[in-house]
Homo-oligomer: A and B are copies of this chain.
Amino acid sequence: MPGSTTDRQNAGPGKAGAYSVPQALAAMADRGFRLTAPRRAIATAALRQERPFTAEQLVADAATGDGESGRSTVYRTLEILAALGVLSRILDASGRPVYVAGAPVHRHHLVCDACGTALPFNVCPVADIADALARENDFEVRGHLLEIFGTCGDCRTESP
């Protein structure tokens, strides 16, 4: 059962808000999760990704890469990493859940149709109108979903 105590030195993310693999593992151990070989492999693979990735992608990755891991374990470990704030689970342009590195802070993305890169931005234009909308419609706002889609500069220069 989770809840024990161990080393807390590098349990948190660095300045950029991104966890290193050792930090991610420490965060897991902190919460009482056992450091198994599959979990090490999955955390390593997840943090190596430079773009949003689906669970299935990592299933395939983990099968060939850093040791074998079953589908169930991949799903379970990604869930844990998301709960710990090592990863965030967001929705891509098609509504499919994808994971990105970083805590699930209030954040939105510029998502490139071509390469899938999700560039975060933090200005939120929703808060301004949410209050007004809530009042006008007797609606209690809990949260919102905002993603902007298009094409990044790199992809535009590479295409005719």
Q: Which residues from chain A sit less than 8 Å from chain B, CB to CB?
A: 91, 93, 95-97, 110, 112-113, 119, 121, 123, 125-126, 128-130, 133-134, 137-153, 156
Alpha-carbon gap, A117 to B134, bound state (A)? 14
Q: How many copies does the complex hold?
A: 2
Q: Could you list 14 further interchain pairs (A-B, Cβ under 8 angstroms) beyond the known A121-B133, A139-B150?
A: A91-B91, A91-B95, A110-B133, A121-B137, A123-B129, A125-B125, A125-B129, A137-B153, A139-B148, A140-B151, A141-B150, A143-B149, A144-B147, A144-B148
B125 in contact with A152 (CB, 8 Å): no
Q: Which residue of B lies closest to A128 (CB)?
A: B125
B153 in contact with A139 (CB, 8 Å): yes
Query: What are 22 sample pairs from A and B whose C-beta atoms fall under 8 A apart?
Result: A91-B145, A93-B145, A110-B137, A110-B139, A121-B137, A123-B129, A126-B146, A133-B148, A138-B153, A139-B148, A139-B152, A139-B153, A140-B150, A140-B152, A142-B149, A142-B151, A143-B149, A144-B148, A144-B149, A145-B145, A145-B146, A145-B148
